[in-house]
């Protein structure tokens, strides 16, 4: 199925009413691992979906799924498989999978020892990127349903204030510091670790290493930093990418906060989704369905951005997490063969918490001039206060409905007879904004795991549809190199090649 053929479908459907199309697609919903997902409100019909299915076949998506779960090197630029899914597989699945999964066992045992030991009351988690977003999301999502949780403070930014704020509420004598860095060289994490070391030393003296647990794929560097041997070093497999690492020892802080049982439930939910993606027919595969919607909206229809609207306070960190997962994975325009990707790839992604956003950017969603798509995530806690739950659901469903159906001049005048025509025109909402609904009635650690795994698989499969490698991130690496050069110039007062940068170096050095 060529892009031009899909574009002809888009042109054919562009004149259709989204509300009419969706009314005929109420069965466009799927269930997997505790989530109901509806793609009814999309500019799609049976003919177009058949074309997208043909695209998936041409892009060998079935083989891509098999390759992922068979430990084929799906990350060709680094010559590695992607093994994040192996961390949530059952024990002793195979020797290769067990080698990855078993890296969790020492961390889980250590977590239980910390929880029962009574020495530490707080954890300070230091990481950046995937070593921060994932654990921060897990903790924020689950802390209120786990009353025995140890408290975690996070610091990621190299801005000194970030760590200052975390330390201001901690006592070094009762704080365990966890540093997470695969290379044990990330500038932000090492800066914060060095400062935290000084802070702990000032309170406990030579016993300071006992207050540190380090997660890394570079144990020699970590051991050298500690200055002595330690049994509080935990392996981070190289084949697990940073933005996919929340299943790994990178989430040691969450293992400590919530305990083995809760973390295992989180892993179990992800494995449940893995099995759905691995074994489902392509027509029923929820991750593929969402990836094809992304291709349709972003590549064929050319939307400007995708908005993730989390109607769940527990998931308020999810849009931030997904920005890294999806945009660092698929924010590329060159394929693994070094040639330009054959089509336009991923659009921008951002979002926030409902109903908070309704009082700010939803105005733009409804009446702005940009082409957008949205996804609404409703995650209800069983037993939560019913009036609030009902209001939350009402707002989410209403926003999705109005984005799709709009509000016409005739509807406004019928509701408000005699209204000034100037005001009528200002109240019109064009509608026609497609959306996805993801709904869970019993949110838990298990449901959180299945949701994140769904997004991971969707990201990988969308990358295959676009012809790019979702597991490298060269654009990120270049910025780090350049920052190092500018840091040196600031320290020495030297100029750099870029005249605008030099101008600011001179100003800040005065």
| β-bridge mates for residue 31, sequence order | 36
List Cα–Cα distances, 24 to 42, 46, 171, 183, 324, in angstroms: 11, 10, 60, 52, 35
The sign of the torsion formed by the CA atoms of 397, 398, 400, 404 equals: positive
312: which 2 tokens?
């769940």
Angle, alpha carbons 186-188-192 (nearest 5°): 115
> For residue 385, what are the CA distances in angstroms to 146, 357, 376?
17, 22, 21
Given 49, 326, 328, 375, the catalytic residue: 328
Spatial contact of 40 and 18, defined as CB atoms under 8 Å apart? no
Where does 333-385 have alpha helices with state H?
362-367
- Return all residues near 106 (Cβ < 8 A) that are at least 6 apart: 234, 235
The helix or strand, by DSSP H or E, that contains position 436, with its residue range, turns out to be strand 435-440
Asked about 332 being catalytic, the answer comes back as no
**Pairing verdict, β 212-216 and 175-180:** parallel
Based on the residue annotation, tell me whether 125 is a catalytic residue of this protein.
no
- Identify which of 319, 296, 342 has the alpha carbon closest to the alpha carbon of residue 462: 296
Q: Distance between CA 73 and CA 277 in Å, rounded?
A: 19
Q: How far is CA 467 from CA 127, 205, 453, in A?
A: 31, 54, 21
Instruction: Calculate the CA dihedral of residues 304, 310, 315, 318 and round it to 10 degrees.
Output: -10
From the number of C-beta atoms within 10 Å of its C-beta (0-12, 13-18, 19+), residue 388 rates as exposed
Quick one: tokens of 134?
């994932």
Token pair for 354: 């409902």
Q: What is the DSSP letter of 92?
A: T
Q: Report CA-CA distances (Å) from 325 to 199, 322, 509.
A: 33, 5, 37
Marked catalytic residue, from 359, 385, 477, 510: 359
φ, ψ dihedrals at 201, nearest 5°: -55, -40
State the catalytic residue, choosing from 5, 224, 304, 480: 480
Decide if 58 is catalytic.
no
15-23: Cβ within 8 A, 24+ apart: 16/43, 17/432, 18/43, 18/404, 18/405, 18/431, 18/432, 18/433, 18/434, 19/404, 19/405, 19/406, 19/431, 21/45, 22/404
Which residues are identified as catalytic?
A: 328, 359, 480
């Amino acid at each position: 199925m060529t892009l031009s053929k899909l574009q002809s479908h888009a042109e054919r459907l562009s004149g259709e009413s989204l509300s009419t199309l969706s009314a005929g697609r109420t069965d466009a919903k799927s269930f997997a691992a505790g989530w109901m997902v509806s793609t009814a409100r999309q500019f799609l019909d049976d003919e177009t979906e058949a074309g997208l299915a043909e695209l998936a076949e041409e892009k060998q998506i079935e083989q891509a799924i098999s390759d992922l779960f068979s430990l084929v090197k799906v990350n060709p630029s680094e010559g590695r498989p992607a093994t994040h899914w192996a961390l949530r597989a059952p024990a002793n699945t195979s020797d290769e999978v067990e080698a990855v999964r078993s890296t969790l066992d020492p961390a889980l045992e250590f977590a239980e020892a910390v929880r029962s030991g009574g020495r530490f009351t707080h954890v300070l988690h230091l990481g950046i990127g995937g070593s921060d977003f994932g654990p921060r999301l897990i903790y924020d999502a689950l802390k209120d349903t786990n009353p025995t949780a140890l408290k975690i403070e996070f610091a990621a930014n190299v801005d000194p204030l970030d760590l200052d704020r975390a330390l201001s509420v901690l006592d070094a004598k009762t704080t365990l510091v966890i540093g997470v860095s695969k290379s044990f060289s990330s500038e932000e994490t090492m800066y914060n670790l060095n400062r935290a070391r000084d802070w702990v030393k000032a309170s406990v003296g030579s016993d300071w290493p006992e207050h540190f647990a380090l997660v890394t794929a570079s144990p020699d560097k970590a051991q050298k930093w500690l200055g002595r041997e330690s049994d509080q070093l935990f392996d981070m497999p190289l084949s697990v990418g940073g933005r996919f690492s929340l299943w790994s020892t990178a989430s040691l802080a969450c293992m400590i906060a919530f305990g083995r049982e809760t973390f295992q439930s989180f892993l179990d939910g992800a494995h449940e989704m893995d099995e759905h993606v691995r074994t489902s027919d392509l027509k029923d595969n929820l991750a593929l369905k969402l990836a094809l919607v992304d291709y349709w909206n972003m590549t064929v229809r050319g939307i400007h951005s995708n908005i993730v609207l989390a109607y769940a306070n527990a998931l308020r960190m999810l849009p931030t997490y997904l920005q890294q997962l999806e945009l660092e994975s698929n924010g590329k325009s060159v394929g693994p063969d070094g040639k330009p990707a054959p089509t336009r790839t991923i659009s921008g992604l951002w979002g926030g918490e409902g109903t908070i956003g309704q009082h700010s950017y939803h105005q733009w969603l409804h009446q702005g001039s940009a082409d957008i798509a949205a996804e609404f995530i409703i995650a209800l806690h069983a037993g939560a206060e019913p009036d609030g739950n009902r209001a939350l659901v009402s707002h989410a469903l209403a926003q999705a409905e109005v984005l799709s159906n709009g509000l016409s001049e005739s509807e406004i005048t019928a509701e408000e007879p005699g209204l000034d025509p100037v005001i009528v025109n200002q109240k019109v909402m064009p509608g026609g904004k497609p959306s996805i609904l993801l709904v869970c009635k019993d949110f838990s650690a298990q449901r959180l795991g299945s949701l994140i795994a769904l997004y991971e698989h969707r990201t990988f499969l969308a990358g295959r549809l676009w012809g790019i490698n979702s597991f490298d991130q060269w654009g990120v690496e270049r910025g780090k190199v350049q920052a190092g050069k500018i840091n040196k110039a600031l320290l020495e007062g030297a100029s750099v090649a870029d005249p605008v940068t030099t101008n600011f170096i001179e100003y800040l050095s005065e």
